[in-house]
Amino acid sequence: MPQGDYIDLHRKRYGYRLDHFERKRKKEAREVHKRSQIAQKALGIKGKMFAKKRYAEKAQMKKTLAMHEESSTRRKVDDDVSKGAVPAYLLDRENTTRAKVLSNTIKQKRKEKAGKWEVPLPKVRPVAEDEMFKVLRTGKRKTKQWKRMITKATFVGPAFTRKPPKYERFIRPSGLRFTKAHVTHPELKCTFNLDIIGVKKNPNGQMYTSLGVMTRGTIIEVNVSELGLVTPAGKVVWGKYAQVTNNPENDGCINAVLLV
């Protein structure tokens, strides 16, 4: 049984085959033809995947070639005007900047009063009732149709207990209940897995808000203690609003963007 670096040892002792380098060179030269043959003959999903990969490679190659071929030409230099730069005849003047300083809290209070918020998804496709609810037939002869099952993702709080089954009208299946959301911070550009505290507003209607249904565009409140945000006063922020950006029933998870 060969042990250790037996391949290198054999090469050291006996050298290479007499035609080794020629064969290697020829094999590498043939690779080009082989690859082109595969590209022409591969059918179906394999062909598509190969074509996609090859296209990306070619695009990259073109870019590097163009970069190498850049010739040195004289180009006009556009210097950006720096902020606050004044022309020469205005130097030596003291400019006073008058700006209204308003604290963040006052701004927020005003917005709340107005009831208008700036959100990433201002408009959302309306969801029809028959899409949202599935009719359940109940009763001995299965003729009663007053129960509805919600087919979208929902949130129920931790203290949730069902109404007695005989009287509950809207059924929220436990398989479609979510407690966590993947929340992206728009400035930091990173995503955290945060707990949901509650559903604030569903754009499709106030009934859905009260049921806790989360569709695309819903505003939810998430627990941001993980992020370690602090108010100017020194208090720790632990709840913030976020807007749902995907269709949770199609993806199996809730993706949201934090509203800062």
Partner 1 sequence: MVQYNFKNITVVPNGKDFIDIILSRTQRQTPTVVHKGYAISRLRQFYMRKVKYTQTNYYDKLSTIIDEFPRLDDIHPFYGDLLHVLYNKDHYKLALGQINTARNLISKIAKDYVRLLKYGDSLYRCKCLKVAALGRMCTVIKRVAPSLAYLEQIRQHMARLPSIDPNTRTVLICGYPNVGKSSFINKITRADVDVQPYAFTTKSLFVGHTDYKYLRYQVIDTPGILDRPFEDRNIIEMCSITALAHLRAAVLFFLDISGSCGYTIAQQAALFHSIKSLFMNKPLTIVCNKTDLQPLESLSEEDMKLVMEMKAEAMKTVVGQGGEPTDDQGVLLTMSTLTEDGVIAVKNAACERLLDQRVEIKMKSKKINDCLNRFHVAIPKPRDQKERPPCIPQAVLEAKAKQAAEKEKRKTEKDLENENGGAGVYSASLKKNYILANDEWKEDVLPEILDGHNVYDFIDPDILQRLEELEQEEGLRQAEEVDDDFEMDGKELTPEEQQALAEIRKKKSLLIQQHRIKKSTAESRPIVPRKFDKDKQFTTRRMGRQLSALGLDPSKAIDRARSRSRGRKRERSPANDGGDAMDMDVDTPNKRLRMRSRSRSRSVSRPPGELVPGEGFRDSAQKVKAQKLAKKSSKKRNKDARRGEADRVIPTLKPKHLFSGKRSSGKTDRR
> Measured between alpha carbons, how far is 108 from 186 in angstroms, rounded to an integer?
19
Please name every residue paired with 258 in a beta bridge, in sequence order, or none if there are none: 242
For residue 229, count other CB atoms closer than 10 A to its CB: 14
Report, in Å, the least distance between residue 170 CB and partner 1.
15
Query: Distance from CA of residue 196 to its chain's centroid?
Result: 17
**198 closest CA partner among 258, 230, 163, 158:** 158
**Least spacing, CB of residue 139 vs partner 1, in Å:** 22
What's the closest the beta carbon of residue 35 comes to partner 1, in angstroms? 15
Rule CB under 8 A: which residues touch partner 1? 1-6, 9, 12, 40-43, 45-47, 134, 151, 173, 175-176, 247, 249-253
Cβ proximity to partner 1, 9 vs 260, nearer residue? 9
The SS3 assignment for 39 reads: helix
Nearer to partner 1, 38 or 61 (CB): 38
Length of the chain: 260
Toward partner 1, which CB reaches closer, 26 or 134? 134
| Cβ distance to partner 1 smaller for residue 182 or 185 | 182
Task: Choose between 39 and 237: whose C-beta lies nearer to partner 1.
Answer: 39
Distance CA 117, CA 144 (A): 42
176 versus 227: smaller Cβ distance to partner 1:
176
Nearest to 228 by CA among 240, 243, 220: 240
- According to DSSP, the residues that pair with 181 across neighbouring strands are 194
- Residue 175: CB minimum distance to partner 1, A: 5
Residue 96 C-beta: closest distance to partner 1, Å: 55
* Residue the block writes with tokens 């700036």: 118
CB of 254 to partner 1, least distance (A): 12
Q: How far is the CB of 104 from partner 1 (least distance, A)?
A: 37
Pairing mode of beta strands 144-150, 170-171:
parallel
Q: 220 - beta bridge partners? A: 199, 242
Nearer to partner 1, 177 or 201 (CB): 177
Closest CA to 34 of 43, 46, 26, 23: 26
